[in-house]
Amino acid sequence: MIKRTIDISEQAYLHLKHQQLLIDKKGETVAQIPIEDIGALILQNPAIVITQAAIIACQKHNVALVFCDERYLPYSLLLPISDGNNLHAKILKQQIALTLPTKKRLWSQIVKQKIINQTETLKSLDKTYLPLERLATKVKTGDPENLEAQAAQKYWRLLFGEQFRRDTELEGINSLLNYGYAIIRALIARAIVGSGLHPALGLFHSNQYNGLCLADDLMEPFRPWVDYKVYLMAIENPELIVNKETKIPLLNLLAEPVLWEQQTLPLMVACHYLLTNLKRAYEDSTVILNYPQHIKSPLPQGEG
Give the pLDDT of residue 209: 66
Helices and strands (DSSP H and E) totals, the chain:
10, 11
**pLDDT (mean) for 61-80:** 86
| pLDDT value for 197 | 87
pLDDT higher than 70, residue 267: yes
Question: Structural domains in the chain?
Answer: 4-78 (3.100.10.20), 88-294 (1.20.120.920)
Q: How many CB atoms lie within 10 A of CB 55?
A: 16
Check residue 201 and give left, alpha or beta (phi > 0: left; psi -120 to 50: alpha). Answer: beta
Q: Is the pLDDT of residue 304 over 60?
A: no
Q: Is the pLDDT of residue 141 over 70?
A: yes
User: How does the average pLDDT of the chain come out, rounded?
Assistant: 90
Average pLDDT over residues 4-13: 92
Lowest mean pLDDT among 64-73, 98-107, 118-127, 159-168: 64-73
As a whole number of Å, the CA-based R_g of the chain is 20
State residue 81's pLDDT score.
Answer: 67
| CA-to-CA separations, 169 to 56, 180, 216, 219, 250, in angstroms, rounded | 33, 15, 19, 20, 19
Contacts of 128 (CB under 8 A, 6+ apart): 122, 158
Of residues 19 and 84, more confidence is placed in: 19
> Residue 6: pLDDT band by 50, 70, 90 thresholds?
very high
pLDDT of residue 72: 76
Which pLDDT belongs to residue 87?
54
Confidence of residue 73 (pLDDT cuts 50, 70, 90): confident
pLDDT bucket at 49, cuts 50 / 70 / 90: very high
How far apart, in Å, do the first and last CA atoms of the chain sit? 36
Round to whole Å and give the CA distance between 62 and 189.
Answer: 10
Residues whose CB is less than 8 angstroms from the CB of residue 90 and which lie 6 or more positions away in sequence, other chains included: none
Distances (CA, A) of 197 to 1, 161, 236: 22, 39, 40
Please compute the mean of the pLDDT values over residues 149-176 and round it to a whole number: 94
Give the model's pLDDT for residue 262.
Answer: 87
Q: Say what the pLDDT of residue 86 is.
A: 53
Candidates 211, 218, 197; CA nearest to 97 is: 197
Average pLDDT over residues 40-52: 93
In this structure, the number of other CB atoms found within 10 A of the CB of residue 99 comes to 9
Q: What separation in angstroms does the CA of 65 have from each of 74, 186, 192, 220? A: 10, 8, 14, 21
- CA separation for the pair 239, 236 (Å, rounded): 9
